[in-house]
Structure 1
Amino acid sequence: MVSDLSYYTQGADGFTLIPTSWARSVWDPNALNGPAVCAAAAHALERDFSDPDFVPSRLTIDMFKSARNAPTVINTRKVRSGHRIVVADAEVMQDDTMVARASIVFLRRSAPPPGNEWRPETTFTPPEHAFDNKPRFPYMNTDGNEWTQSIGGHQNVARKRAWSTGMAVLPGEPCSPFVHAVQSAESTSLVTNLGTEGIGYINCDLTMALSRIPEGHELGIEADTHITADGISVGTATLYDRKGPYGTGMVTAVSNPAAQIDFSARKGLL
């Protein structure tokens, strides 16, 4: 899917990323949102190290400093290149400060071993209606409720799901299935940490694990676990396309009630 809407535009030097309004955080308009930071790192790693014989099977992004609404540079390096595994790192830089870092593991495609293994039953049912091939706010669903684009309408204690399209990193470039999967996986925080009063946790990382590259321009996510203590939250979720599950997401988050977002009080789709 090619769109003029994107998280960034490209600077005159050809490698600096200039954030657009789509990259701004709902927590702070002078900061970047998690999907934009994750997408930029994933885009650079895929661009520099992807190989059709390998699957990007695990991506971990540590977001240890708030990324500002400012020019951003992604530096990458290969750590290991073997017959079955390739490992690479990325640094998300603003000025001379690292605001996030990422590590990716590529695994070589192969035939499965003999025998059968346990697999959980899946109950995820995507919305029947389709997007119109344009990036939009996600649809959400909770147990006992219909799919809607009102996040505030799902501020409850039920299990949550989201369904979305992807946003391009740069205008005129398609959002690749891998970069879209990273954006969808970042919503692990949304589907696990959204409660009756909104979201009061800020996730400081994302780990996404894939068994295959997803298909289609619409992807979903369903909460699996939500464990909290001492103001720390750990959430996991399963990632879906219309064929079924293709991976998992995990985030850790810290409590920040001073910046609690109550989506029921916000106007528009959010």
Structure 2
Amino acid sequence: MTEAVFGVEGDVFFPGPHAVGPWGADMMNGRIVGGVLAHCLEDRHGDPDLLPARLTVDLLRPLGMKQFTVRTSLVREGRRIKIADAEIVQDGTVGARASLVFLRRAPQPPGHVWRPDDPMRAPLPPAEPENNGHALFLWPHGHGEVDPDNRMAVWEGGARNSAWIRERIPLVQGAPLTPFVRAALAGDVTSPLTGWGSAGLQYINADYTLALTRLPEGEDIGLQAVSHLSADGVATGTVTVYDGNGPIGTCTIVALANTAAAFYTPRPTDSDLTA
């Protein structure tokens, strides 16, 4: 599969069919927006001695399925920390922005620090699933089938609290899909994983923050729900992020009630949904 989510000519990005989001055929997917911001920050400001440790993506307004540019700036560069910002500009307006903190790697300090004993509950996906031309494969825990079409129905029911994600095509034409960008693309999936309820997904992301202690190894990124809290139409959700060797970080989203319409409403015949 050689087709990429975005074509690029110079500094201009062109979204292809795989960039379409679930909120409308003329809107880009939020996870794709975060992914291209992460790509540009790593590509322009990355350093092999520094870990891209904290990415925050602000989804300021819907981005259309048309060309855009990404501008980046170096905010701070010190001996142990570097900070860079990025913005997507479409039709002369900033539609999304991101901030990335790079930290210098060092030997682990001595001593023992508490950590939760909460292994990933979803089993690893098959090594070679059927390749049918889709950009993303999902394995929500509790579903025995591979879902190559990314159907929203796979999130229904109480089994939706963990999933594995595998990207199948490049994000940007001519650029490798790096471990950091794989993790960044998975971050937005925190929203359906933590925010799904018995009436469907009623919250829309405002932002997400991905924090990593190391880069993932391999193609598969796992997410396991840790918490969902909501009041007065505002929600937060947190997941632990995994690769095949164990936990690598966390991701937290902040969302608001989408009062216009639900992202997805369960089928009337379903009776086993949990809030």
TM, length-normalised to structure 1: 0.90
Q: What is the one-letter code of the residue matched to 1:180?
A: R
Structure 2 counterparts to residues 142-157 of structure 1, below 5 A: 142=142, 146=144, 148-149=146-147, 151-157=152-158
Alpha-carbon displacement from aligned partner over 1:57-116 (angstroms, at most 9, x marks no partner):
000011111111111111001010000000000011102100011100000000111101
Paired with 2:127 and 2:197, the residues of 1 have a C-alpha distance of 27
After superposition, the Cα gap between the structure-2 partners of 1:95 and 1:154, relative to the gap in structure 1 and judged at 3 Å, is closer
After superposition, the Cα gap between the structure-2 partners of 1:217 and 1:21, relative to the gap in structure 1 and judged at 3 Å, is same
Paired with 2:39 and 2:193, the residues of 1 have a C-alpha distance of 24
Shift of 1:137: 3.1
Paired with 1:139 and 1:158, the residues of 2 have a C-alpha distance of 11
Partner residue of 1:250 out of 252, 255, 260: 252
Paired with 2:201 and 2:232, the residues of 1 have a C-alpha distance of 16
Paired with 2:243 and 2:204, the residues of 1 have a C-alpha distance of 26
SS, match of residue 31 in structure 1:
strand
Number of equivalences:
259
Structure 2 counterparts to residues 7-22 of structure 1, below 5 A: 7-11=5-9, 14-22=10-18
The answer to whether structure 1 residue 219 and structure 2 residue 258 are counterparts is no
Paired with 1:8 and 1:243, the residues of 2 have a C-alpha distance of 30
Structure number having the greater strand percentage: 2
- Cα RMSD of the aligned pairs, angstroms, is 1.9
After superposition, the Cα gap between the structure-2 partners of 1:163 and 1:233, relative to the gap in structure 1 and judged at 3 Å, is same
TM, length-normalised to structure 2: 0.88
Paired with 1:85 and 1:101, the residues of 2 have a C-alpha distance of 20
Shift of 1:171: 2.8
**What is aligned with 1:268?**
none
After superposition, the Cα gap between the structure-2 partners of 1:111 and 1:147, relative to the gap in structure 1 and judged at 3 Å, is farther
Structure 2 counterparts to residues 88-237 of structure 1, below 5 A: 88-124=84-120, 125-132=122-129, 135-142=135-142, 146=144, 148-149=146-147, 151-157=152-158, 160-166=161-167, 167-237=169-239
Shift of 1:257: 4.0
**What is aligned with 1:51?**
47
Paired with 1:133 and 1:209, the residues of 2 have a C-alpha distance of 31
The alignment-based identity, stated in percent, is 37
Shift of 1:123: 2.4
Q: What is the one-letter code of the residue matched to 1:155?
A: E
- Structure 2 gaps of 5+ residues are 268-275
After superposition, the Cα gap between the structure-2 partners of 1:194 and 1:130, relative to the gap in structure 1 and judged at 3 Å, is farther
Structure 2 counterparts to residues 22-41 of structure 1, below 5 A: 22-41=18-37
- Structure 1 gaps of 5+ residues are 266-270
Paired with 1:102 and 1:22, the residues of 2 have a C-alpha distance of 21
